[in-house]
A and B are shown apart, each in its own frame.
Chain A
């Protein structure tokens, strides 16, 4: 299942043009590009800079400031695991070691089969029902390693 389109400068130019009328358009543009392509290609930097009358350095600086934006394609599914205090209180550190062990990858890395990229996140607002995770934006509460595995199997289908 392809969640994202392959990078296309032409398509990116169209997406950028849809947002230039907004006040402070940079973040909405970056989100839209990542939503479409799964990452923000470096080829987008001059396109955004031209459209918003910014320097390339300003656009690059903006992209790299935020944890959300990635410069390279990720796995087919994005797993965000909460590492903040409320989940720590429910044993998230131990759980994460088990999950990463089973997936065979580290933080910010993609599994060998390309199915999932794991990102740390600091709080999902599910703090009374931790440990918590998001898979492609869908929340998972009372997380266990088995529940994550089942959820990843489910989205794979």
Chain B
């Protein structure tokens, strides 16, 4: 009887040798006369256990990890194909505490199924959301999204139902659905994992959006730093067309939805939705002034629904299980689950999908187990390069849009980057300005010029040149950038800078060795 082995094709697993492991497993099994089939899955998101190999047994799946090429022969000798005992044996993957404690609504298939198989997707509950949507009228679908409380997961947290409603009501000969898959924030990888591990969840979510808003064409704007996700999406879309879940007659409904994936070209600013649309049109990714909003005048001037990967992929579950079931998760005005990405200097990093309301400390200590270096946690950046640095005494802040804002931080795309006590916060604040200077689109002055002046002024602080006066200047500059920038790039760069200065002031007054005259 053939045994099925599951080896991830997720970029993390590949980066740790998963292809070599898969080839060695196949060759080793063949030499032993064992009949094995290898399914390349996505990742379950237990990053420190990658490559995590699973085997299908009569008692369900048994996981082993992290599996290195050098472990393969010993694992096969230990009877990996029948779930045999070995030091790397993890048992039932779903009982690993990191996974067992999660509330996986959006990610429940990721790492489980063959990502490019429509059949496997449907066998695990796929397309039940679209089937439910096709039984409703457009207003009914939009109402479900609105009543679920779903807010845009890209960072801004705008209520998804309002956006969907605006596009639905807009009149035009052509409307578009565009997925923002330009996941540029450091410390975030939920979109990548989803696109590599369960791309049909995104395809289904976008198709539901198309049906609800009357848009017959969709684009996924994907960053070029994700070549594996690009290949997987291309393959999934081709298979979807073949299977009739995309195209002129979606699931036999007579409704049409055509989807394509487009590559960005290494510009962080293209994660801003109007800049993304410019880029998708083939132009420089320069931010547009709003209004008009993209929901009314978006791609090629047509009404366009732009949502993040995590927003679209929440929708199939909502349509399948009901808006109320989703809204039962979370707290306050942050409803549903947040796919949290735990990264940086962390022992047990990865993807943690939990209802809003879990505190940063719970994520870092209970899930993460502290730093990888074993040193104390000193600073935690939440929400990407434009998010605030939190010190230890603020780690009991819950992940909730309003609670994070109250601490002058943001949830962003849910990325959490942990730093140990060797971090130099002045260097981090300088980097925030430097990154903004590198990635600014250049349209508005506060961002374009402010970022460069910020780097220069921070260099003076670091060199000990009149640090107090220069920090006052930086605070003033940050105020101008916050209030005067056209988009979040310049508008939020002050957040990491000012949080570093506020919470870690000792890092900004260390130098002081150079004479004032040096200025």
Contact = CB atoms under 8 A, between A and B. Distances in A.
Contacts of A31: 224, 263, 265
6 contacts: A25-B282, A66-B267, A127-B417, A130-B344, A139-B12, A141-B15
Interface in A112-157: 121-130, 132, 134, 137-142
Contacts of B419: 89
B300 A23 contact: yes
Interface of A: 23-28, 30-31, 52, 58, 61-62, 65-69, 80, 84-90, 121-130, 132, 134, 137-142
A80 B186 CA distance: 15
A65 B346 contact: no
Interface in B395-422: 415, 417-420
Interface string B416-450: 01111001000010010001001100000000000
A133 to B, nearest CB: 8
Contact of A24 (B185, B281, B343, B350): B281
Greatest chain B CB density within 10 A among A87, A123, A124, A134 is at A123
Interface stretch (B110-118, B187-195, B205-213, B289-297): B187-195
B122 interface: no
A123 to B, nearest CB: 5
A69 to B, nearest CB: 6
A128 B300 contact: no
B515 to A, nearest CB: 28
A126 B15 contact: yes
Interface of B: 11-12, 14-16, 47-48, 50, 183-189, 191-192, 224-228, 262-268, 279-286, 299-300, 341-346, 349-350, 372, 381, 385, 415, 417-420, 423, 428, 431, 435, 438-439
B249 to A, nearest CB: 22
A78 to B, nearest CB: 11
Given A122-B435, A139-B12, A89 B423 contact: yes
B376 to A, nearest CB: 13
Contacts of A52: 282
B12 A122 contact: no
Contacts of A67: 265-267
The 10 closest A-B pairs by CB, nearest first: A128-B349, A26-B282, A141-B15, A84-B186, A127-B343, A66-B265, A89-B344, A139-B15, A67-B266, A128-B47
A30 B265 contact: yes
A61 B286 CA distance: 11
A77 to B, nearest CB: 14
A128 B351 CA distance: 9
B267 A85 contact: no
Contacts, number: 158
B266 A66 contact: yes
Contact of A27 (B265, B300, B431, B439): B265
Contact of B418 (A89, A125, A137): A89
B188 A27 contact: no
Nearest to B380: A89
B282 A124 contact: no
Among B267, B344, B439, the one with the most A-chain Cβ atoms within 10 Å of its Cβ is B344
Nearest to B418: A89
Given A85-B431, A122-B385, A142-B15, 9 more contacts: A66-B264, A86-B343, A86-B417, A88-B428, A89-B423, A123-B186, A124-B226, A128-B47, A129-B48
A89 B48 contact: no
Nearest to A52: B282
B379 to A, nearest CB: 9
B94 to A, nearest CB: 20
Most chain B beta-carbon contacts within 10 A, residue among A67, A68, A86 = A86
A136 to B, nearest CB: 9
A128 B343 contact: yes
B12 A128 contact: yes
Contacts of A27: 262-265, 279-280, 282
A140 to B, nearest CB: 5
Give the residue among A65, A122, A123, A125 with the most B Cβ atoms within 10 A.
Answer: A125
Contacts of A122: 184, 186, 268, 385, 435, 438-439
Most buried by A among B192, B228, B268, B284: B284
Contacts of A84: 186-187, 385, 435
Contacts of A89: 343-345, 417-420, 423
Contacts of A142: 15-16
A120 to B, nearest CB: 9
A60 B372 CA distance: 45
Nearest to B282: A26
B16 A24 contact: no
A118 B349 CA distance: 28
A106 B346 CA distance: 29
A3 to B, nearest CB: 14
Given A85-B186, A137-B227, A139-B12, A127 B349 contact: yes
B15 A127 contact: no
Contact of A88 (B265, B285, B431): B431
Contacts of A66: 264-267, 285
